[in-house]
Amino acid sequence: MRKGTVRFLAVLAAALLLLGSYAGALACTGFYVGKQASANGAVMLARTVDLHPLAAMFRVLVVDRVEDQPGRLHTGTQGFSWELPDTTYKYTSTPMATGMGFGRYGSACMNEMGLAITGTVTAYARREIRAMDPAVEGGLCEEV
């Protein structure tokens, strides 16, 4: 191979490596399109996953409506827990199928009443935020 070709390939490889590593710095982003903004009246909820390429393996989870069942408790992976209402609405969620040990990470959810939420849109908090709201032992994590 000629010297110029080797140099060109080295520069190309470096550029691709640089561009490939930049995508992870863009951070996760949530999108919501309401029925008045879509062409057919559909409500859409989506999000990007920029934490890690292997973290973007989604599945769809449908959780059925539960009526008149008091005393139910939800417990997160960090030990944080709270009592659920006696009745909870059916919802669809797109949790990450994590084999990375992070927990479920609901990501984007919408219930039968049309209430939508996209969570886990930040993988890491800035130092200033952590100083104001530090993570505590047994606290709420993004895996809920």
Q: Note if 28 is an active site residue.
A: yes
Q: Which of 27, 28, 100, 106 is catalytic?
A: 28
Q: Long-range contacts of range 40-46, CB-CB < 8 Å, 24 or more positions apart?
A: 43/110, 43/114, 43/116, 45/108, 45/109, 45/110, 45/116, 45/118, 46/108, 46/118
Bridge partners of residue 39, in order along the sequence: none
CA distance 120 to 73: 21
Among 58, 121, 66, CA closest to 93: 58
Catalytically active residues are 28
